[in-house]
């Protein structure tokens, strides 16, 4: 997982404002009592940080991959109106 994907998931699951707060302030025992930001800075892979955060906050498996983004009707890749 790339760091950019980690931040996309953080925003999708927790919202942009709360994601930053969690990353800075939420201490995770599974990451040697570091915050997600500290763990990433120390070289812990983003995937491992994401998994630890999801486990600690009981994020359901179905939400751990982020939002299910579907194209709007009429948008490229979307479904055209059926008649």
pTM of the prediction?
0.78
Two structure tokens written together for 11: 């925003």
Phi then psi for 81, rounded to 5 degrees? -60, 135
Q: Which DSSP symbol is given to 2?
A: -
pLDDT of 79 reads 47
Mean pLDDT per 10-residue section of the chain, whose length is 83 residues: 93 93 96 97 97 96 76 55 41
Query: Which residue is it, tokens 């008649």?
Result: 83
pLDDT of 3 reads 93
pLDDT of 80 reads 46
């Amino acid at each position: 997982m790339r760091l950019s994907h980690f931040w996309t998931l953080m925003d999708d699951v927790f919202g942009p404002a709360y994601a930053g707060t969690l990353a800075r302030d939420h201490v995770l025992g599974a990451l040697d009592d570091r915050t997600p930001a500290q763990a990433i800075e120390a070289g812990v892979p983003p995937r491992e940080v994401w998994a630890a955060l999801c486990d600690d906050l009981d994020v359901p498996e179905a939400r751990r991959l982020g939002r299910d983004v579907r194209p709007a009707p009429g948008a490229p890749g979307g479904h055209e109106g059926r008649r």
